[in-house]
Amino acid sequence: MSEINRENKDRLFRFIFGNEENKAWTLSLYNAVNGTSYQNPDDIMITTIQDALYMGMKDDIAILVYATMNMFEQQSTFNPNLPLRYLIYAGMIYSGLIESGKWKINLYSSKIQKLPVPKCVCFYNGIQEKDDMILELSSAFPENSDPDIQVRVHMLNINYGRNETLLNACAPLHDYSFLIYRIRIHQNAGMEIGDAVDLAVDELSDDSVIKPFLIKNRAEVKRMCITEYDEVKTMNMFREEGREEGYNEGRADGQLQSLVSLAEKRYITIEQAAEEAGMSVEDFLGKMKAK
């Protein structure tokens, strides 16, 4: 089992759409999602929190266009806990805007202070069959409760052949979807991930808007794809190991013990293991010490 790099690392999606060099592509993505037609990339303010981490990776993209704040995430595994993560990100982003003075606001004013409208979107391209859906933070609370906080996340399936209207409205997103599709085709045929990435990049059409950028940064693109591939593979492996350990030992905490073991071996991060176990990092560290 390959060890996951515990340093901060970008995803390919973020590398393409969250890059200052590619703000025109980011604006195209924004327009496709929001049904707008802005033309000036300088209208975008990238407000991504650089040190907000999830599973060792930065959150993907946050952009401010006039009075709308879009928070974009790309996910290759289905995660029903996205609303909680967006709640945390949103607080950090709004706090950063206010503290930096980029959004003028007086928290102690007697008048209502206007905020950028938050839009939470997850671009899903995992192999598990999933339709578009809205994930809600209220699902995490006990039934029949009346929470005063709500977060909604719009999850859009961007696998190649799905959501064609959206993909056709954003050429870079269409090309990204096709690239991931071809990588998986080659992997399923037995090709190593690095070779699959190389071939998939070459298979993009010559008029692909992202192809020159990917070729220019081919080594970095391959590294990110390999890292993401190892991330998903390792998560699937420790889920299976947890099921097997729980069955073999006949103990309800079999999966937890497996997570502790994998974290100790540094196959996964403490944050990953705690999230999978459904507990805080502090509680998970306590379980590790107890073992």
User: DSSP readout, 250-279?
Assistant: T-TTHHHHHHHHHHHTTSS-HHHHHHHHTS
pLDDT value for 274? 75
pLDDT value for 167? 96
pLDDT value for 20? 87
User: Which of 154-163, 223-232, 234-243 bottoms out in mean pLDDT, i.e. has the lowest?
Assistant: 234-243
| Residue 268 pLDDT > 90 | no
| Residue 133 pLDDT > 90 | yes
Q: How far apart are CA 205 and CA 198, in angstroms?
A: 14
Domain ranges of the chain: 1-157
Phi, psi of 114, deg, nearest 5: -80, 140
| Residue 260 pLDDT > 70 | yes
Task: Label residue 139 by pLDDT band (50, 70, 90).
Answer: very high
Comparing CA positions, the residue from 21, 134, 17 lying closest to residue 72 is 17
pLDDT value for 251? 43
Q: Are 137 and 87 in contact (CB under 8 A)?
A: yes
Question: Which of 52-66, 100-114, 174-188 is predicted most confidently?
Answer: 174-188
Structure tokens given for 220: 């970095």
pLDDT in tens, 210-231: 999 999 999 999 988 887 766 6
Angle at 219 between CA 21 and CA 175, to 5 degrees: 55
User: DSSP readout, 193-245?
Assistant: HHHHHHHHHHHS-TT-SSHHHHHHTHHHHHHHHHHHHHHHHHHHHHHHHHHHH
Name 250's Cβ contacts closer than 8 Å, sequence gap at least 6: none
Residues in the chain: 291
User: Which of 72-86, 246-260, 273-287 bottoms out in mean pLDDT, i.e. has the lowest?
Assistant: 246-260
Q: Cite the DSSP H helix spans in the chain.
A: 12-17, 23-34, 82-100, 164-169, 171-188, 193-203, 211-216, 218-249, 254-264, 270-277, 281-290
pLDDT value for 277? 72
